[in-house]
Structure 1
Amino acid sequence: DDSEWEVKIPSEDTTDAHIKYSVSSSEGQHECSETGIRWRSDSDVSLEYRFVDWKSLSKDIMKKYKPCGPLMDITVTSGTLEEIQLPHFACVDFESSSDDAVKALHVKDGTVSLERCELSRFHAKLLNPTFSFLAIVVEVQQYLTMKFHCETLIY
């Protein structure tokens, strides 16, 4: 239910080629108006995050997994998150998009790990998250049979 989330407008830093978002929030459930990430905390928290180009990952990683959402670099600058929810575009009503097929990909110092996540229609929830480059992915074999939701703009 989208009404449970308080929408936050982040500040944007464009000093380098990429936009870095910063936001502070009190305890509760919040959603970024620009990126769609959601977070829940039991105390005040501050975050910085940005989109990362998928090309920055090794080609070996990308041979095994396909993206189901953006690759993000997220840092908690103060406080602790109880959960984070990353946007994805996998259709969860399709059999192959089960919680076992879609995973959270962590990349830290060249090391890759996968974490199980709980899917809702547009978000993948991670409890007590740790941060690195983070994205929602699916293995290549299952990617070929999955359905995805998207928005098409016709001009």
Structure 2
Amino acid sequence: MNVSGALVIGIGASSGVTATAVTEALSALDGRFPGDPVAVRAVATIDRAAESGQLRAGLRKHSRHWSLAVEGELPVLCYSAEALAGTIVPNPSASVGQRVGTPSVAEAACLRAATELGEGPARMVLHKFVTAGVTLAAASSAGSPRALRPVVPGRVLRRLR
């Protein structure tokens, strides 16, 4: 598999989102990439969303449909609101900014993570869209993929279990 072509999926969810809503939203994302299974390098989100058992359950269930670009468990990169707020995105939202402290979760998280995992700036592959209370976006890394650094300021690394 061409790891450099793998996507970083950015995800944001309203509080109270269900695992079913997450899997439905991820299926909608897959539908925007017809053909082979979607190749995924990592999932990225805001730190407080990563604590949602429903979000993690939906990701666990749906990730079986993806072609993982990494060995082992899918990495979930969790960023603080402050770290995400410093990322320039194509579609910021003032209402999201008021609620969570950053004008973007899905787009900012995937762009930040894809930049971290590649050489140079990332590019947005799929602008944010919302379905069933879940916001999704996708970015890809520029250049050759880099190893995932265990410690990055403003980020926590989790594995999808």
Q: Which has the larger radius of gyration?
A: 1
User: Aligning the two structures, in what range does the TM-score lie when normalised by the shorter sequence?
Assistant: under 0.3
| Structure showing greater relative contact order (alpha-carbon pairs closer than 8 Å, 6 or more residues apart) | 2
TM superposition score normalised by structure 1: 0.25
- Tell me which protein shows more helix as a share of its residues: 2
TM superposition score normalised by structure 2: 0.25
- Tell me which protein shows more strand as a share of its residues: 1
